[in-house]
């Protein structure tokens, strides 16, 4: 996972919305959406809940 994808996933696990993530990372909403699609593919998950669960289980482990 790229460093930016990790930032997006961390923000999601902190409860940030896509719009909040876009503002925080100074990227567009569409870019956030694209990062999330790639995260789902790389983690082999199908929902936001699964991705956040993965992030929380692996917190501190890249």
Q: What is the mean pLDDT of residues 24-47?
A: 96
Domains of the chain with CATH codes:
3-57 (1.10.10.10)
> Can you tell me which residue has the tokens 């993530």?
21
Report the pLDDT value the prediction gives residue 14, as an integer from 0 to 100. Answer: 92
Distances (CA, A) of 44 to 30, 31, 38, 62: 21, 20, 10, 16
Distance of CA 4 to the CA centre of its chain: 9
Q: Is the pLDDT of residue 31 over 70?
A: yes
Report the pLDDT value the prediction gives residue 60, as an integer from 0 to 100. Answer: 59
Q: Is the pLDDT of residue 55 over 90?
A: no
């Amino acid at each position: 996972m790229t460093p930016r994808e990790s930032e997006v996933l961390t923000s999601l696990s902190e409860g940030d919305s896509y719009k909040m993530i876009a503002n925080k990372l100074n990227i567009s909403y569409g870019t956030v959406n694209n990062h999330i699609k790639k995260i789902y593919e790389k983690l082999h998950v199908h929902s936001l809940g699964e991705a956040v669960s993965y992030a929380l289980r692996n917190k501190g482990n890249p």
